[in-house]
Amino acid sequence: MKKITVLILLFSASTGYTQTLPIDFETTIVTSDFEDFDGGKATVIANTQPGGLNTSSTVAQIVRDGGQVWAGSKLALASNLDFSTFNTISMKVFTTAPVGTIVKFKLEGAGVTERDAQTTVTNEWEELKWDFTGQPANVNTLVFMFDFGNVGDGSASSTFLFDDIAQLFGGTQIDLPVDFEGSTVNYTLSDFGGNESSLVTDPTDAGNRAIQVIKTEGAATWAGTTIGTPAGFATNIPLTLADSKMTVRVWSPEAGTPIRLKVEDSNDPTHTCETETNTTLSGQWEALEFDFTNQAPGTELLSVGLAMGWTYNMASIFFNFDTDGATAGEKTYYFDDVKFGELVLGVNNYEMEGLRAFPNPANDQWTISSPNMDITLIEVFDQQGKLLLVLKPNGPMATINASNFADGAYVSKITTRSGTGSVRLIKQ
C-alpha cells in the first residue's frame, strides 16, 4: 500500500498544470495550485457565502494582509488562452469592500496584458467581466489582484471570494463604420477622466441605438470615451493626407460645444492625431466632419505620423473638450454612426417615381410621400453638404419638423426598400 501511495503522489507531481477554463473549484483546483505574491494568500475553501448568483459548494479565497498594493495570487493553466473567438473572461466575486473596488485581472506568459473591472455591489455575489479582444494567444497564467492600488490589512474588506472563471464570446471586434445596431458586435466602450458611457435606445428615435455619454460633475477637462475596447478597431483606419476625414453623428444640448476626435495606435499610445470641431445645433442630431490634416493645437501633425509609418486603429471622442465637469455641470451627450471619409450628400441623380414633399415651401413641417414603397431612411443636408437630420421611418409617409431650420433650401435624401432618391426642400 505504501508503494501505491508513493506512485500516486509522484504521478500527481509530474503532471504539472493541467487546469483549463472554465474553473469552478469543485474538483480540479486545490490551494497548492496557487502561487501567492507580495501579501496575498489564496486558498480553496467551502463557500462561506452561498446564495444569490453563487450557491456552489467550493470557491477560492484571497486574503490580502500587508505587502504591496498589487498583492495577489497566480494560477497557471495547461495551455495558452485564445481570444480570437472567446474574447471575454468572466468571474463571480464576493466582497464586503466598498462599491467601486478595483479588481485587476492580469494575464502572463510569453506576453503580458491586464484589464480592470470595478465592483458594483458589496456583501453579495456579482459577475465581473474583462474584455481581452485582440490580445495574442501567448498567455497562460491568471493573476488575481483584488483591491488593486491599496495595501490589505487582513480584515473582512481585504478578503475576497471568487468562483466560476470562464471565457465567453463577447461579440466580434468592432470596426468602421460603426452604427451600434449589430447583434453580434462587441460594443464595449472604454471611458476615462470621469465619463460614463452606455449603449442606449436613441431618445429621439425608438428604432435607433446610440451611445449616451454623461460627462459628470467630477469629469476632467480631457474626459472622453474610446469607441471600442483597448484593442481598437479590427482594421486600421486608412488615413492619408488626401483622405483624412471621419464623420460622427452627435447630439449636444448646446450649439457651439467643442467635440474632439482622437485616433491612435492601440499598441502605442504615443502615436496619435487629434482634431476638433464645434456643434452647430442645440438639442438635435447633426453629423460633424473631422479633418485630421487640421490637427488640434499642441498635437502631432498627421503628416508627421504618416511619414514615420504610424498607423491608427483606435478612436476616442471628447465632448465639451477643455472644460471640466465642475465648471459645466453634469451634461448628457449622444453619438452614433462613426465613419471614415468625408461628409457628402450622396444623393442619386434621379428622382424616384412618385416621391414628393408637401407643403413645399413649408413653415413648420414637410411631409414626405412615397406611394410605391415604404420609406426606411431620411437624411436632410444643407447646401454645403452638412448632414443636419436623420430619421428612420417605416412606412409610405413621414414628416420632417421644419421649425428648427433657418429659411432657405435643403436637400433630403430618401431611402426606400427599392432605392434612393432626393427631394429639394424649401423653408420659409
pLDDT tier at 350 (50, 70, 90 boundaries)? very low
Whole-number pLDDT of residue 304? 95
Whole-number pLDDT of residue 384? 59
pLDDT at 90 over 90: yes
pLDDT (tens digit per residue) in 152-205 = 999 999 999 999 999 998 888 899 999 999 988 999 898 999 999 999 999 998
If 0-12 CB within 10 Å is exposed, 13-18 middle and 19+ buried, where does residue 198 land? exposed
348 vs 85, residue with greater confidence = 85
> H or E segment at 316?
strand 314-319
**DSSP letter at 54?**
B
C-alpha cell at 132: 481581452
Q: Distance between CA atoms of 176 and 261, rounded to whole angstroms?
A: 15
Q: Are 89 and 130 in contact (CB under 8 A)?
A: yes
Q: Are 250 and 212 in contact (CB under 8 A)?
A: no
Conformation bin of residue 146: beta by default, left when phi > 0, alpha when psi is -120 to 50 = beta
pLDDT at 366 over 70: yes
pLDDT (tens digit per residue) in 34-82 = 999 999 999 999 999 999 999 999 999 999 999 999 999 999 999 999 9
Least confident of 31-35, 258-262, 385-389: 385-389
SS3 content of the chain, % helix, strand, coil (to 5): 5, 45, 45
Q: Distance between CA atoms of 273 and 243, rounded to whole angstroms?
A: 14
* DSSP class per residue in 185-202: B----EEETTEEEEEEE-
63 vs 16, residue with greater confidence = 63
Q: Please report the domains of the chain, with CATH numbers, ordered by start residue.
A: 2-168 (2.60.120.260), 190-340 (2.60.120.430), 356-427 (2.60.40.1220)
pLDDT at 421 over 80: no
pTM greater than the 0.75 cutoff: no
> Closest Cα partner for 345 from 280, 287, 260?
287
Whole-number pLDDT of residue 250? 95
Whole-number pLDDT of residue 412? 83
Whole-number pLDDT of residue 385? 66
Winning range, highest mean pLDDT, from 213-227, 342-356, 379-393: 213-227
Q: Are 354 and 420 in contact (CB under 8 A)?
A: no
C-alpha cell at 59: 470557491
Per-residue pLDDT averaged across 88-112, rounded? 96
> H or E segment at 62?
strand 58-66
Whole-number pLDDT of residue 375? 87
pLDDT at 424 over 80: no
**Is residue 149 classed as helix, strand or coil in its secondary structure?**
coil
